[in-house]
Structure 1
């Protein structure tokens, strides 16, 4: 089972980075290359524990639907989303947020996945899939970093939860 481990230092409070990472709006903004769209009932706001979201996106030239669920949430330290339905055999994405200082956070992604199609899936991992997924996650993290470090972050976090000011 391939594992992708990424670390991103962000000049922003941990709570802000945590919430941006759960924002549906920032996910859409960070995945413009794959034209991701929410096709589930929940379309806006921050994902909470036990909530599911279904995405439709074009990856590797094929339109796909993928449903993931927040299966663990420990504010503002970590959360986990897991695939419920989709093209992978399975995936678990752990999001960990370590406070470096009052205004600096280390965001850690641990993405474990299992490709479908047995031997062919393993071959795809070696040839291109792991690199493709790593690049996809790095691009998403770069958008989170840029937004968190700018004044734009307030546009992506739901004010009704009283989360502004981070």
Structure 2
């Protein structure tokens, strides 16, 4: 299992960043390189407590699906998305938004584990430990551009 944290300061209020982080269209825009799209559940607008969404994307040439939900939600400072089914043995993404000097400090804490026992652990160490933070940084840079425009 791997846990990592990414932080980014954004020149916009927490309410704006919180909303963008829950926006399905903003998410698909931020993941355009992998062709991510919704195939079930909430397909546009802002996710809310109790919602589920199934994403489909292509990573490493493989089409993957992941269904997630929001088990924790405290607007506008915090929410969690967790995998209900999909490619990971475990996926938990904590989103934190703190009012900071006229903007927002956005902090993501991601914990994940690959399936397949020792083979999955090898994939975590060889590939996923650098690939997943890069993917989150890409997403966050997109949200920053949108929020600050």
TM range, smaller chain: over 0.9
Q: CA deviation at 1:120?
A: 0.8
- Give the conservation status (yes or no) of the 8 Å contact 2:113–2:124: no
Aligned position for 2:89:
89
Aligned position for 2:5:
5
Aligned position for 2:105:
106
Per the normalisation by structure 2, the TM-score is: 0.98
- Give the conservation status (yes or no) of the 8 Å contact 2:41–2:51: no
Distance 1:95 1:23 in 2: 13
Structure 1: which 5+ runs fail to align? 151-166
Q: CA deviation at 1:130?
A: 1.4
**What is the 5 A alignment of 1:85-164?**
85-101=85-101, 103-150=102-149
Distance 1:13 1:121, change over 3 A: same
Aligned position for 1:59:
59
RMSD (Å), alpha carbons: 0.7
- Give the conservation status (yes or no) of the 8 Å contact 2:69–2:81: yes
Structure 2: which 5+ runs fail to align? none
Distance 1:6 1:65 in 2: 24
Aligned position for 1:163:
none
Distance 1:41 1:126 in 2: 32
Q: CA deviation at 1:31?
A: 0.4
Per the normalisation by structure 1, the TM-score is: 0.88
- Residues 108-131 of structure 1 deviation map (CA, whole Å, 9 limit, x = unaligned): 000000110111111111111111
Q: CA deviation at 1:86?
A: 0.2
Aligned position for 1:30:
30
Moved over 2 A (4+): none
The structure with the greater share of residues assigned to strand is 2
How many aligned residue pairs are there? 149
Q: CA deviation at 1:41?
A: 3.3
